[in-house]
Structure 1
């Protein structure tokens, strides 16, 4: 694919699935300012579009993302302002109410790996490579890595990944819980399409609430988590999807979920 500077991020939507592609392949999709801005806009648009049920995040040209592009002109921009811009993208991804899938080929390093980890599910080709490269660049973790890694792999493994900045393969990443599925090269498009189609057919309100509770309740007490679950189920009972699922179960057919509101 040609590196199209006018379109640093490509966005396509079909059948409720929004595909967002980092389009900076000459630098392995390293994210510069236009890419960060494009991601921010893509996530914001997906969050407010009820027709979008799933977001797939990927990279052009055979790589996912080589991290932040440090080669651009940064004159006159305070480093804290640059980091706040990147942080806004991380929060926009985290706050998306729809399921998100990272489709990873090639490299996912530094902020690029944490961009993938910010998604709900990570699908990687078997020959993909990952690294928290920051230490080798004289930098510390960013794009949420200090929050994501210990929650996924535990503190000791998080320290290993952050302090040693090793390059690991997809199978090791899967063993650590950092990749959800490993697939053979050449099969990832079909696999992710099937996965996204399954998620897009799900009950959108129920899935959004489950996602939010899983993101938030790790830092809450059991009592607080149970209370948030009770609120979520109350909302589900007042919608159209739970009754539709029950009727489909009785009729021995697949339900059709719309995310509607049935309460009067």
Structure 2
């Protein structure tokens, strides 16, 4: 049975040596999570989990950013908010229950979901200058980080980042991450899955319950007027920043 890579939008997937490499691929927007990107992430995870040749899944970003989280600016497209939330909830469920080794390769700044999702991975590698922040309260969404900003070193100290990898380029960084991923992919898969299950303990059930509560809260927050007002304000703020930048013209070296 063949397992073709699904058609993806703003997202990419590849496979080599037992490792599936999934990547946010919308660098012009800082790899923001547009609804189509979120759906592509979900589809690629389903593909990677179902494909028996995939032993390890690596998630990274193309360009300077890992991901800037939810696309707060919008692009005029029409999307069913409930469908987007359903995709988001299902994606989290797949990450939580994934029987394969999950590795996050944080190649740059990570905002919102780019930070909060890291706890769902088995291993997290980050470049030295990566930073992390969760401005949900600012946008009148569920308060998680209260706009806090943390460095890779702080998250390594807290145990959320497995290792900080100094590298002069994304290619060098990914080379080191894939060296680990490909080595893990050679281990006996049944024993590897059993070891992962033992290490998780009761964590899976707790995370699934937390995901359920958070998604219920998101439904309430998104429906509230203060959320839409905050998001409109953010979109206007971003529009003004882009306008000022275009008036200044290109920078001179």
TM-score, normalisation: structure 2: 0.71
Q: 1:198 to 1:82 in 2, by over 3 A?
A: same
Cα root mean square deviation, aligned: 2.2
2-side partners of 1:6 and 1:214: how far apart?
33
8 Å contact 1:127–1:185 — kept in the other structure? no
2:156 aligned partner: 174
2:112 aligned partner: 110
2:122 aligned partner: 120
Corresponding residue pairs, total:
195
1-side partners of 2:48 and 2:34: how far apart?
21
Which sections of structure 2, spanning at least 5 residues, go unmatched?
Answer: 1-6, 206-253
1:202 aligned partner: 187
Q: 1:206 to 1:125 in 2, by over 3 A?
A: same
Aligned-residue offset at 1:82: 2.5
Question: Over residues 212-244 of structure 1, what are the superposed CA-to-partner deviations in whole Å (9 max), with x where a residue is unaligned?
Answer: 333342489xxxxxxxxxxxxxxxxxxxxxxxx
2-side partners of 1:39 and 1:189: how far apart?
19
Q: Which of 126, 129, 139 is residue 131 of structure 2 equivalent to?
A: 129
Aligned-residue offset at 1:74: 6.5
Q: 1:15 to 1:112 in 2, by over 3 A?
A: same
Aligned-residue offset at 1:190: 2.2
1:14 aligned partner: 16
Q: 1:217 to 1:14 in 2, by over 3 A?
A: same
Question: Over residues 86-132 of structure 1, what are the superposed CA-to-partner deviations in whole Å (9 max), with x where a residue is unaligned?
Answer: 11111122222110110112211111212333221110001001012
2-side partners of 1:204 and 1:58: how far apart?
23
Higher relative contact order (CA 8 A, sep 6+): 2
1:189 aligned partner: 174
Q: 1:74 to 1:211 in 2, by over 3 A?
A: farther
Q: 1:6 to 1:163 in 2, by over 3 A?
A: closer
Q: 1:48 to 1:190 in 2, by over 3 A?
A: same
8 Å contact 1:108–1:116 — kept in the other structure? no
Q: Which of 47, 57, 60 is residue 58 of structure 1 equivalent to?
A: 60
Alignment of 1:88-167 (within 5 A): 88-140=90-142, 162-167=144-149
Alignment of 1:29-108 (within 5 A): 29-72=31-74, 73=76, 75=78, 77=80, 79-108=81-110
Q: 1:38 to 1:132 in 2, by over 3 A?
A: same
Which of 1 and 2 has greater Rg? 1
> Equivalent residue of 1:46, what SS?
helix
Aligned-residue offset at 1:167: 0.9
Q: 1:97 to 1:181 in 2, by over 3 A?
A: same
1-side partners of 2:41 and 2:78: how far apart?
22
8 Å contact 2:31–2:68 — kept in the other structure? yes
